[in-house]
């Protein structure tokens, strides 16, 4: 019997070379496969806090009408978002998570005759959506490790790759998995430098967590740059990762094109209701942001005391440089019931990405890391 799947020969060439996205391991999978209990997950950059009661109630209320399709245009959610953001509803495109909006952008603007630019250590979904369309990927080298933003976006390198075939440039700000960011002045100058046929996608999935005067207010730039698209999500700071709600903010003409491609009913009724309720809970979001800032500081300092450096981050995670034994460290943590994120698929085999969890979860992580480092030291005696 042949090992070649006959259906693989029928797939589009661009799909044949794709590797599926690998999400963070769920705790129940680790517990089942390793025979352990009470695993914790610090691998998917989720908000560890439980969402407000009002959000849960809003989602549960919709279940009474679950036999009906959701509002395919998401009218109420787009109106609520427009009011919150200070934009018009016709500038918004809803997605089944922000990943869905990234797919829509690729499907709308890329084909085999065009190209897209992204950073070598940026969010892996950019590579996947570009490759699926058959477009050329123009991959810019990241900043060197001794840079102020190590392994972050080098905008000069990205600009040098832009040519007449380029249709999309993806910029993650802050970037996953590095946590690094692009400053307002640098990003504004980059946008000015680009020709009008290039659409710049600024992925701001971690926008609510990003603190600092140098972080750009991109929303105020939309009138100046009609080729700018912002992508945000309710999956991170708003705590609605399971609901899958993301959105794009752009010029109305761009949003109209994206909504032609967008699948009907791509955001379900419970998710829409939860997102609307979550927008009313800005005090809760602010509290989550403060907790994250404190957690980042604690995690960074604790890792440093263990001799582990981490990259600067404006997200809700740190990219920790473990060294050549990163895979061994990850396996040790798994057997101790702690799930973090290896980033070998980003070309960062010596690093582990660690989400800021609750204080109790960080305690678990740090105890496990301390034991691992001690075991390594004993081996070297």
pLDDT in tens, 150-160: 999 999 999 99
DSSP 337: T
pLDDT band at 1 (very low <50, low <70, confident <90, very high): very low
What are the structure tokens assigned to 39, written together? 């695993």
Specify the pairing of strand 199-203 against strand 228-233: parallel
Q: So what's the pLDDT on residue 319?
A: 98
pLDDT at 3 over 70: no
Q: What is the dihedral of CA 125, 131, 136, 140, to 10 degrees?
A: 30
The reply to whether 38 falls in a domain is yes
CATH number at residue 305: 3.90.1150.10
Mean pLDDT over 177-181 rounds to: 98
pLDDT at 292 over 80: yes
In angstroms, the CA 298 to CA 290 distance is 12
Number of domain units in the chain? 2
Name the 3-class secondary structure at 372.
helix
Name the 3-class secondary structure at 353.
strand
The reply to whether 13 falls in a domain is yes
Q: Which residue would you say has higher pLDDT here, 157 or 31?
A: 157
The reply to whether 159 falls in a domain is yes
Name the 3-class secondary structure at 220.
helix
pLDDT at 72 over 60: yes
Mean pLDDT over 299-307 rounds to: 96
Let me know whether 114 and 227 are in one domain.
yes
CATH number at residue 71: 3.40.640.10
Select from 216, 245, 280 the last residue of a domain. Answer: 280
The alpha-carbon radius of gyration of the chain (Å, integer) is 21
Within its chain, how far is the Cα of 368 from the centroid? 26
pLDDT band at 26 (very low <50, low <70, confident <90, very high): confident
pLDDT at 218 over 90: yes
Let me know whether 301 and 255 are in one domain.
no
Q: So what's the pLDDT on residue 376?
A: 80
pLDDT band at 23 (very low <50, low <70, confident <90, very high): confident
- What domain range includes position 345? 6-50+283-379
Let me know whether 105 and 254 are in one domain.
yes
Q: What are the DSSP E strand ranges found in the chain?
A: 40-41, 92-95, 115-119, 136-140, 166-172, 199-203, 228-233, 246-249, 309-310, 317-321, 338-339, 341-342, 351-355
Name the 3-class secondary structure at 381.
coil
Report the 10 Å Cβ neighbour count for 102.
26
Let me know whether 44 and 118 are in one domain.
no
Query: Which of 62-66, 224-228, 243-247 has the weakest average pLDDT?
Result: 62-66
pLDDT at 271 over 90: yes
Query: Which of 12-26, 98-112, 317-331 has the weakest average pLDDT?
Result: 12-26
Q: So what's the pLDDT on residue 380?
A: 66
pLDDT band at 297 (very low <50, low <70, confident <90, very high): very high
Q: So what's the pLDDT on residue 2?
A: 53
DSSP 48: -
Let me know whether 124 and 215 are in one domain.
yes
Let me know whether 360 and 252 are in one domain.
no
Let me know whether 165 and 42 are in one domain.
no
Select from 221, 255, 280 the last residue of a domain. Answer: 280
Residue among 365, 357, 42, 348 nearest 175 (CA): 348
pLDDT at 322 over 60: yes
Give 203's strand partners.
Answer: 172, 231
Mean pLDDT over 78-87 rounds to: 98
Let me know whether 18 and 166 are in one domain.
no
Query: Are 332 and 339 a contacting pair, CB within 8 Å?
Result: no
331, containing H or E segment: helix 326-335
Query: Are 270 and 59 a contacting pair, CB within 8 Å?
Result: yes
Let me know whether 184 and 315 are in one domain.
no
- Tell me what percent of the residues of the chain surpass a pLDDT of 70: 97
pLDDT at 377 over 90: no
Let me know whether 40 and 149 are in one domain.
no
The reply to whether 206 falls in a domain is yes
Q: So what's the pLDDT on residue 375?
A: 87
DSSP string, 243-265: T--EEEE--HHHHHHHHHHSPTT
Select from 263, 280, 297 the last residue of a domain. Answer: 280
Question: pLDDT (tens digit, 9 = 90+) per residue, 329-356?
Answer: 999 999 999 999 999 999 999 999 999 9
Question: pLDDT (tens digit, 9 = 90+) per residue, 37-64?
Answer: 999 999 999 999 999 999 999 999 999 9
Let me know whether 257 and 348 are in one domain.
no
Residue pointed to by tokens 């032609």: 260
Question: pLDDT (tens digit, 9 = 90+) per residue, 7-21?
Answer: 676 677 777 676 776
Let me know whether 31 and 131 are in one domain.
no
pLDDT band at 211 (very low <50, low <70, confident <90, very high): confident
Query: Are 90 and 256 a contacting pair, CB within 8 Å?
Result: yes
Mean pLDDT over 220-228 rounds to: 97
Q: Interior CA angle at 266 toward 262 and 269, to 5°?
A: 145
Q: What is the dihedral of CA 327, 172, 254, 158, to 10 degrees?
A: -100
The reply to whether 1 falls in a domain is no
pLDDT at 164 over 60: yes
């Amino acid at each position: 019997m042949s090992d070649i799947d006959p259906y693989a020969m029928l797939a589009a060439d661009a799909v044949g070379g794709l590797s599926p996205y690998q999400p963070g391991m769920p705790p129940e999978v680790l517990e089942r496969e390793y025979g352990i209990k009470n695993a914790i997950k610090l691998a998917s950059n989720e908000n560890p806090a439980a969402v407000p009661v009002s959000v849960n109630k809003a989602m549960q209320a919709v279940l009474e009408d679950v036999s009906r399709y959701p509002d395919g245009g998401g009218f109420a959610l787009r109106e609520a978002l427009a009011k919150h953001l200070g934009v018009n509803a016709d500038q918004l495109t809803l997605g089944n998570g922000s990943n869905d909006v990234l797919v829509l952008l690729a499907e709308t603007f890329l084909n085999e005759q065009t190209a897209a630019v992204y950073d070598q250590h940026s969010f892996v979904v950019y590579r996947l959506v570009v490759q699926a369309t058959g477009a050329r990927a123009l991959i810019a080298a990241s900043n060197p490790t001794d840079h102020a933003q190590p392994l972050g976006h080098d905008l000069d390198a990205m600009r040098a790759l832009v040519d007449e075939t380029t249709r999309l440039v993806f910029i993650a700000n802050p970037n996953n998995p590095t946590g690094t960011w692009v400053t307002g002045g640098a990003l504004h100058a980059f946008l000015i430098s680009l020709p009008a046929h290039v659409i710049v996608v600024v992925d701001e999935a971690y926008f609510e967590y990003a603190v600092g005067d140098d972080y750009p207010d991109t929303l105020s730039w939309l009138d100046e740059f009609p080729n700018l698209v912002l992508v945000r999500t309710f999956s991170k700071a708003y705590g609605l990762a399971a609901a899958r709600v993301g959105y794009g903010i752009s010029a109305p003409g761009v949003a109209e094109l994206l909504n032609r491609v967008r699948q009907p009913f791509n955001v379900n009724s419970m998710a829409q209701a939860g997102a609307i309720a979550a927008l009313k809970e800005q005090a809760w979001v602010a509290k989550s942001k403060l907790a994250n800032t404190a957690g980042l500081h604690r995690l960074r300092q604790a890792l440093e005391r263990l001799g582990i450096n981490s990259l600067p981050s404006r997200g809700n995670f740190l990219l920790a440089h473990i060294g050549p034994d990163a895979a061994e460290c990850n396996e040790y943590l798994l057997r101790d019931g702690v799930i973090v994120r290896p980033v070998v698929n980003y070309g960062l085999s010596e690093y582990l990405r660690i989400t800021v969890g609750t204080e109790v979860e960080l305690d678990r992580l740090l105890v496990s890391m301390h034991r691992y480092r001690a075991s390594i030291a004993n081996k070297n005696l």
